[in-house]
Amino acid sequence: MMQEIYGITLEELKAWMQQNGQPQFRAGQIFGWLYGKQALSFDQMTDLGAPLRAKLAESFHFSTLKQVRILRSEDGETEKFLWELQDGKKVETVLIYSADRRTVCVSSQVGCPARCSFCASGKQGLIRNLSSAEIVEQVLQIDRHLKGRGERVCHLVFMGMGEPMENYEAVVKAIRIFCSPDAFHISQRRITVSTVGVVEGILRLAKEELKVNLALSLHASNQNLRKKLIPYARKYSMEEIITAVDAYSHHTKRDITYEYTLLAGINDTIESATELAELLKGKQCTVNLIPYNPVEGIRLDRPEKRDIEQFRETLEERGICTTWRFTKGKDIAAACGQLALQQ
Ligand code: SF4
């Protein structure tokens, strides 16, 4: 069976070379063509002999994503890409421009098993996992899009559609390709994996040599409320999750980011902020506050600005570091899963 070339790590390609009687350095050469020169076929790899190119073409195929459309936000800070996969399913990726930073928000699944009550992707549940090639190609195609103006993707966040820890192997393989000096050469420090708290996945990732950043989508200050907002969260208690996250931080020496979507009248009160500060007391962490971006068909609202400010001040006064992110690209349905659902 033909394999997807973008889902192959350098080590796997070296092994393939060896099995096919070729020197291993050819693997690095091919990675240079794929990710540096962004070749679209083996025929373009002119420094490989014709028999090797033919053998590669028999064994691997290239593209897995077809670009359906790109939407650019009015403020020019966000572009949203909608792709069609080979089986006709849709998935999306967001490119965020901020100063000289180009960040790609990658999807890891079609749909999502977490079913967060405030999320468009959660509405449809899990449809299927993406392959490592489908994950890598989201970034490659955007890198190609940027290359024309002399720019490159430099930061990655696994915060698009899906729960990355539920597609662990494919996500980790894609991260190895993103970090590979022969491919994208993106530093581990510039890659963030976001999870709703899959304990086994967090502990497993802590043991990999990949020291990527971890973000926990917390969204509530206690288990009762969290269970209502994230049905999937019933599987694990908050204590178990936070213990796993602490272990991750300890192993990797990375600070943790806690994502907290602020929902009017639900989790944005001073009591919630006080409870959250108590929960995170003494931890090396940042709470990223995300005022909710309303989704059609979901009856939840964005808090008033003064409530957001009060929430933030309550955390800061108690020694918790915060960042405050207004969801970019509101006019292009930039909350995760919205564009794919509109098709
Ligand atoms: S917010 Fe993230 S984890 Fe929750 S359903 Fe949406 S994609 Fe899944």
Task: Tell me: do 134 and 149 sit in the same domain.
Answer: yes
Q: What is the pLDDT of residue 326?
A: 56
Q: What is the pLDDT of residue 329?
A: 47
Question: Is 242 in the same domain as 291?
Answer: yes
| Same domain, yes or no: 42 and 158 | no
Write the CATH number for 107.
Answer: 3.20.20.70
Q: Which parts of 46-89 are beta strand (E)? A: 60-61, 66-72, 78-84
20 lies in the same domain as 159: no
- Verify whether ligand 1 is closer than 6 Å to residue 161 (CB atom): yes
320 touches ligand 1 (CB under 6 Å): no
pLDDT digits (tens, 9 = 90+) for 276-331: 999 999 998 999 999 988 877 888 899 999 999 999 999 999 999 999 865 544 55
**Helix intervals (H) in the chain:** 10-19, 25-31, 50-59, 120-124, 132-147, 168-179, 199-207, 223-229, 238-252, 270-279, 305-317, 338-342
Q: What are phi and psi of 215, to 5 degrees?
A: -120, 135
Same domain membership, residue 29 and residue 176: no
Give the model's pLDDT for residue 158.
95
Q: How many domains does the chain have?
A: 2
Encode the chain (343 residues) as per-residue pLDDT tens digits. Answer: 789 999 999 999 999 999 999 999 999 999 999 999 999 999 999 999 999 999 999 999 997 899 999 999 888 889 999 999 999 999 999 999 988 899 999 999 999 998 888 887 777 889 999 999 999 999 999 999 999 889 999 999 999 999 999 999 999 999 999 999 999 999 999 999 999 999 999 999 999 989 999 999 999 999 999 999 998 888 999 999 999 999 999 999 999 999 999 999 999 999 999 999 999 999 989 999 999 888 778 888 999 999 999 999 999 999 999 998 655 445 544 445 444 444 4
Q: How far, CA to CA in Å, does 68 sit from each of 20, 85, 245? A: 37, 10, 37
Regarding whether 7 and 146 lie in a shared domain, the answer is no
For the Cβ of 163 lying below 6 angstroms from any atom of ligand 1, the answer is: yes
Same domain, 43 and 76: no
pLDDT the model gives residue 279: 96
Alpha-carbon distance 141 to 9, whole Å?
18
Task: Give phi and psi for 287, each to the nearest 5.
Answer: -100, 120
Q: Give this prediction's pTM.
A: 0.93
pLDDT the model gives residue 263: 94
Query: Both 281 and 162 in a single domain?
Result: yes
pLDDT recorded at residue 298: 84
CB 26 near ligand 1, within 6 Å: no
Q: Write out the residue range of the structural domain in which residue 48 sits.
A: 3-61
Is 336 catalytic? The answer is yes
CATH number reported for the structural domain that contains residue 35 in this entry = 1.10.150.530
- Is the separation of the CB atoms in 290 and 334 below 8 Å? no
73 and 46, same domain (yes or no): no
Task: Examine the fold and report which residue of 61, 79, 109 is the final residue of a domain before the chain moves on.
Answer: 61
User: Does residue 207 share a domain with residue 260?
Assistant: yes
Can you tell me which atom of ligand 1 is nearest the CA of 115?
Answer: 5
Hey, which residues does 90 pair with through a beta bridge? 84
pLDDT value of position 335: 46
| Pairwise CA distance, residues 163 & 114, whole Å | 7
**pLDDT reported for residue 339:** 45
CB count in 10 Å sphere of residue 326:
11
Of the residues 112, 116, 119, 336, only one is catalytic, namely 336
Q: Is 250 helix (H, G, I), strand (E, B) or coil?
A: helix
| Catalytic status, residue 92 | yes
Query: Which residue among the candidates 4, 79, 92, 163 is catalytic per the annotation?
Result: 92
Domain boundary among the residues 61, 81, 108 is at 61
Q: What is the C-alpha separation between 327 and 291, in angstroms, rounded?
A: 7
Given 61, 80, 104, which residue is the final one in a domain? 61
Convert the pLDDT of each residue in 52-88 to its tens digit: 999 999 999 997 899 999 999 888 889 999 999 999 9
Out of 130, 171, 196, give the residue to mutate to test ligand 1, the one with the largest number of ligand atoms within 8 Å of its CB: 196
CA 122–ligand 1 middle distance (angstroms):
5
| Shared domain check, 109 and 29 | no
pLDDT of residue 137: 97
Are 73 and 29 in the same domain? Answer: no
Pocket test residue of 93, 108, 116, 259 for ligand 1, highest count of atoms within 8 A of CB: 116
